[in-house]
Each structure stands twice: as C-alpha cells, then as structure tokens.
Structure 1
Amino acid sequence: MYLEHFGLTELPYSLTPNTALYCSLPPHEEALETLLMALHSGEGILKIVGEVGTGKTLLCRKLLNELPDHIQPAYIPNPYLQPDELRWSLALELGLELEQGANQLQLTQAIQQRLVELHDQGKQVVLLLDEAQAIPAEGLEALRLFTNLETERRKLLQLVLFGQPELDQRLADKSLRQLRQRISFSCQLRPLHKHEVGPYIHHRMLAAGYRGAPVFGNIAARMIYRASRGIPRLVNMICHKSLILSYGKGNRQVGATMVWRAIQDTEDASLLMPRYGRQT
C-alpha cells in the first residue's frame, strides 16, 4: 500500500490496539497512572469509562504490559457472559483445568482455592474486563461476590472495569448499589484536545518508522480534529484514508483536499464539517 512510499515499517493508524504505537498524551497517561497507583493499594474496584473510540482497549493492553511482576492478570475481552460462563472464563485465566462436568459450586470452590494459592505465592490477582457495560446484571453480582474474598490485609481478587458511558448508567441502578459503593477509583477517558491531535498524528507516524518532516500540516490537523471531535479512532481512520489518497497522487505531504475527501468517506466524521478550499 503506502508503507514504502512514506518509509513506514507498519501501518501507523491501524484500528487494532497496538501498544507499540501508544502515544503518551494526557488522557491516557492520567488514567494509566491512576490505575497503577490504585492497583498498588490493592483495594476496591477500579472503573475506566470512555466514549466509543477513545482508546479504552489500547489503555487496557498498555496496562497489562506495565503491570509489575507480583501482579497476576486475568483478562476477559468480551464479558457478555452469564455468571457460570464468567466463572469458567476466570478459571481458565487463572490456569485451572477442570472437567466440563464440574458444577458451579465446584467451580467456585476451585477458583477460591486458586486465589488463596496465588496469594500465598505473593501474587496479587487482578481481573480486567473490557466492554464492561455489556456484562449482564447477574454477572456483575457474581463478580462482586468474588471481590468479597479477602485475607485480613488484602482482597484476593481486584477488578478493573473498562466500559462505555452506559456502564455508569448500569451501575446507577439501585440493585447494583453494593457493587457501585465498592468502586474506589474512577477515571473518565476524554477525547483529545485540539492542541493534542497534531502531536498524536505525528507520533504515530514516527512510531511506525517514518523519518522526516510532519506529513500532516497544521491545517490538516485542525481539519481532522474538527471532523473527529478528538476521538482517536476517527482520527486514525481519517489519517489512514488520507495517506492512501496522497499515495495515489504521488504526494509525500497530506493536503487539505485529501483530508477533506477522507473525512467525507468516514462515517460519523463529516458532521458539521466546514468546507475547506481545494488545497493540495
């Protein structure tokens, strides 16, 4: 595609949450620091909420890479599961090998025993759940009951919930007040500000192997910010399409015309976007 044309070693704006392209801008760094500090305390449930496309999954993957050695992570990327399915998923993440015929009581007891064993080995177990807004109410209650397991000094299982704003709406329900009251740290993952979009775009190019002056100029960055509203996923989509269009024209710089066409071709990115002159 355009990799050789721009001297890239990989796609800089892939929608896959690639931690090699992680950009340490304030929204994600603030959330990451809060998470690491809260995990160190070992108390309560942690919650990260962000609008669609703001980088929750990338942050989750980055956190997994940053965890100290004494923390044993368990990661469930798709928690739209019933309580028994959640227990089985947790058991597999903890390395348990159980026969499929095991009943829920046996499964719960095995998980409890495994958590105690890991604690005795000096391990702190953290369960990270992406797309947590999709967890059924019964599943949330099952998770809360697991967080009841504790020694005199520390919880045996700590939860980190990553979810869309709908997660807050779910947790506001009276039936989930016990879970809600156990949330000790909460972060809101915001979109990028106007002055952060340009550095974000350039960083992704550099991380993907580009060497040279910024490919996207100030006008292009401003257009991308306005059309994307600072949402990283939309920024990535517009930039990717802009590079394709520029490559097709043989250009090594992305002008306003290419950005405009990329915006027009991107769902949810062209709303209220003013018309720019046909610059190249």
Structure 2
Amino acid sequence: MYLEHFGLQESPFSLTPNTEFFLNMASYHETFNMLMVAIANREGFIKVVGEVGTGKTMLCRKVLNTLEEDEQRYVTAYIANPVLSPKGLFLAFAEELGIEVDNDIGHHSLLKKISRVLMELSLEGRQVILFIDEAHAMPQKTLEALRLLTNIETEKTKLFQVILFAQPELDDMLRDKSLRQLLQRITFAYRLECLDRDGVERYVSHRMAKAGYNGPAVFTSKALDDLTSASRGIPRLINILCHKALMVAFGRGDRSIERDHMQRAIADTEGVELPPPAPSYLRRISAVMAVMAVALAIYMLNYYLR
C-alpha cells in the first residue's frame, strides 16, 4: 500500500487499539494516573466516560497491560461485551478468574465459588480488578447485580474493584432512581475529552513516528486544520481520515498531505464534514475588525510613549 512510499514500517492509523501507539496527551495522562491511584487505593467503583471513538478501549488496554506486568500483585478480568444477564455476567467473571463452572450451575453455588476464589486471592495478597468495556450497554438489572456482587468483602477491604469504560449514555442510566445506590458507589469518575488543534497535530506526528517515519512533517498545516474540523478531535475519525488521505497522496505519487488530499478523504467518509465557510460579508467584517484592532494598538502604544 503506501507504507514503503512514506517510509513506514507499519500502518500508523490502524483502528486496532494498539497500546504501542498510546499518546500521553493531557486528558489521557490525567485519566491514566487517576486510574492507577484509584487502583492503588483499592477504590470500589471507578468510571471513565467518553464519546464514541475517543480512545476508551485504548486506555483500558493500556491500564490492563501495565497491571499485568505485575502478576504477583494484580489479577485482572476483562469483559468486552457486557450485554449479559446478571448470571451471564457472573459466569463471565468466573471464567476470567479461571473458575471452571457449568452453565447450568445454580446462582447461589456460582456466587460461593466466586467468593471463595476472591478470598483466596486476597489472602495471597493479590488484588483483583474487573474491567468492563462498553458498560453503557449493560442492562440495568445487570448493573444492579454487579453492585450487589461487590458486596463481597472482608471487614477491612473490598475483594475486587470495578472499572467501567462507557459512552455518556451510562451517565443517563445512572440517574435512574433504581441505580442510585450504584451511583453512590462510584468514588472516581473521569471524562475523556476530544483533541484540540494542537493535540491533533501531536497525535498525527506521534503515530507517524511510531510507525517508523523519520522526516519532515507529512501533513501540512492546512490539511491538519481541515482534519481537526472534520474529525472534531475524535481519535477514531482522525485515524480513518489520515489513512484515506495517505492513500490519496500515494495514488498521486505525492509525498505530503495537502488540503486537497484531506478534503477528498473527508468527502469519502460518512458522518464527517467540514463546517460551511463564513459568508463573504462576515469575512470582510472580521478583516476590518482585525485592522482596527491593530490600528488601536499602535495608537495606544504611541499615546503611552509620549
């Protein structure tokens, strides 16, 4: 494809959440640190919310990988598809903990097995963390069952923690009166923000460098302006548009991404578009106001220097 053309060793804008491409931008850095602090303090429920495509799964994998480097201390469980019944959730958790059970096991027996393993791990000094991705998709009954499951504890500590990664719809669900007890259990919460213009430029440069590129900036300033506007700073959309823009440039034999390449990528992508240009009279007014501002600044400078 375009890898050799741009001197790349791998695709820089793959949609797969490869943690090698993780960028410690302010929002992600703060959230990552918050999660590690909350885990260290053995907080019960932790919630991370972000719009579609803002990198929640990438952040989740980054935390998971960090904890798995210390297997003697941490035991992690990861549920990627939580559209489950309460018993289905318990079975998935048991499987992640390495507990062998039959699907027709009784509810009480299943909870006893989970409780026993959690207690054994606690006595070994190991900390259990359950990660649930796409938590906004969980049925309300399953969310409430999860809260009840966290009641498993010793006199001094909870036997496991829960970290929820979700779209903003989870916040709407938690406002329901039936889930007020779960809402009160959430001790740490953070929201992932979209990237601003500088953040988009850093993100693109970072991924190009990680993919093996070593040279002058490939994406021009105007192309990045359009990329920021069309993607609204959402990493997933940035990846899609950059990938397509590189393909357009490769097809033409170009070595840099100009505004035309990016606009063709935008036109080819559903759900993204550039904002319409301001009417000509507004542009003229803006230009006049800019000139007046400069003139006023010069006048005031001369006045105070007399």
TM-score calculated relative to the size of structure 2 = 0.88
Residue 188 (structure 1) aligns with: 191
Higher Rg of the two aligned structures: 2
Cα contact 1:12–1:207 (8 A) shared by 2? yes
1:153 to partner: Cα distance: 2.1
Q: Which runs of 4+ in 1 moved over 3 A?
A: none
Residue in structure 2 matched with residue 57 of structure 1 by the alignment: 57
Secondary structure in structure 1 of the residue aligned to 2:23: coil
TM-score under structure 1 length normalisation: 0.96
- For residues 261 and 9 of structure 1, what CA distance do their matches in structure 2 show? 25
Distance between the aligned counterparts of 1:155 and 1:239, measured in 2?
Answer: 45
Q: Residues 227 and 273 of structure 1 are in contact (CA less than 8 Å); yes or no, is this contact kept in structure 2?
A: no
Matched residue, 1:249: 252
Q: Tell me if structure 1 keeps the 8 A contact 2:85–2:142.
A: yes
| Structure 1 position 217, deviation (Å) | 1.7
- Residue 158 in structure 1 maps to residue 161 in structure 2: yes
Q: Where do 5+ consecutive residues of structure 1 fail to align?
A: 276-280
SS of 1:75's equivalent in the other structure is strand
Instruction: Classify the secondary structure of the residue corresponding to 2:270.
Output: coil
CA distance in 1, matches of 2:34, 2:276: 35
Q: Distance in 2 between matches of 1:193 and 1:153?
A: 44
Indicate conservation of the 8 Å contact 1:226/1:273, yes or no: no
The Cα shift of 1:193 comes to: 1.2
Cα deviation 1:34-67 (Å, max 9, x = unaligned): 1001111102200000011100011100110112
- In the alignment, residue 12 of structure 1 is paired with which amino acid? P
RMSD between superposed Cα atoms in Å: 1.2
Secondary structure in structure 2 of the residue aligned to 1:8 = coil
| Aligned partner letter, 1:210 | Y
Q: Does 1:136 align with 2:143?
A: no
Match for 1:162: what amino acid? F
Per the alignment, in what secondary structure is the counterpart of residue 6 of structure 1? Answer: coil
Query: Partner letter of residue 22 of structure 1?
Result: F
Does the 8 Å contact 2:226/2:274 carry over to 1? no
Counterpart pick for 1:206 among 205, 209, 212: 209
Alignment deviations for residues 1-44 of structure 1 (CA, whole Å, 9 cap, x no partner): 11111111111111111111111111111110110011111022
AA in 2 matched with 1:107:
L
**Counterpart AA for 2:269:** T
Question: Aligned to 1:104, which of 107, 115, 124?
Answer: 107
Cα separation, 2, equivalents of 1:19 and 1:249? 32
Structure 2 unmatched ranges of 5 or more = 279-306
* Counterpart Cα distance in 2 of 1:208 and 1:132: 31
Aligned twin of 1:39: 39
